[in-house]
Amino acid sequence: MRVAEAGRSPITLFVDGIPAAALAGDTLMTAMLIANRSLRRSEFGGEARAGFCLMGACQDCWIWTEEGDRVRACSTPAVDGARLSTRQPATAWPTRS
């Protein structure tokens, strides 16, 4: 929920193909959680996940670009027109860590 700084310029992202309204300066996490309750599903329990530490330590907020690159939503700035996937795209190379 935004509590301030709502006067920034609007941008649009596409999450699983669906447009999501966001603001310039948002992280991907902020942008996606303003639009939805969660970022992804746990691959172990299947439940919704929405990040945890916001400082790049817990890795709970992994999402993917449509090209298949894995990104940490909490520390990646949202750019206008970005196309994101809440699931690892099946056609992408397998995730290495």
Partner 1 sequence: MADPVVAIIGAGPAGVRAAAALVAAGVRPVVIDEAMRAGGQIYRRQPDGFTRSYTDLYGSEADRAKAVHDCFDALHGHVDYRPQTLAWNISDRRIFTAGPDGQQVLPFDALLLCTGATDRLMPVSGWHWAGCYSLGGAQIALKAQACAIGRRTVFMGSGPLLYLVAAQYAKAGAEVAAVLDTSSMSASVAALPRLLAQPATLRVGVGLLRDLRRAGVPIHRGITPVEIHGDADRGVSGVTVRTSRGDALTIDCDAAAMGHHLRPETQLAELAGCDFAFDAMVRQWLPVRDADGRSSQPGVYLAGDGARILGAVAAEAAGELAALTILADRGYRVSDTARQDARQAVARARRFAEGLARAYPWPHEQTSALGDATILCRCEAITVGDLRRTIAETGAEEANRAKAFSRIGMGRCQGRYCGLAAAELIAGAVGTPVEAVGRLRAAAPVKPIAIGSAGRCDR
Residues that bind partner 1 (CB under 8 A): 1-9, 24-27, 30, 33-34, 37-38, 42, 44-60, 62, 69-72, 74-75, 77, 93, 95-97
Q: Which is nearer to partner 1, 7 or 81 (CB)?
A: 7
> Sheet harboring 83-85: ordered strands across?
18-23, 10-15, 83-85, 62-65, 70-72
Q: Which is nearer to partner 1, 81 or 94 (CB)?
A: 94
Q: Which is nearer to partner 1, 19 or 41 (CB)?
A: 41
The Cα 60–Cα 91 span in angstroms is 22
Nearest distance from C-beta of residue 87 to partner 1, angstroms: 15
Short-list 10, 2, 5, 16, CA closest to 78 = 10
Nearest distance from C-beta of residue 14 to partner 1, angstroms: 20
Q: Tokens at residue 60, please?
A: 């709970």
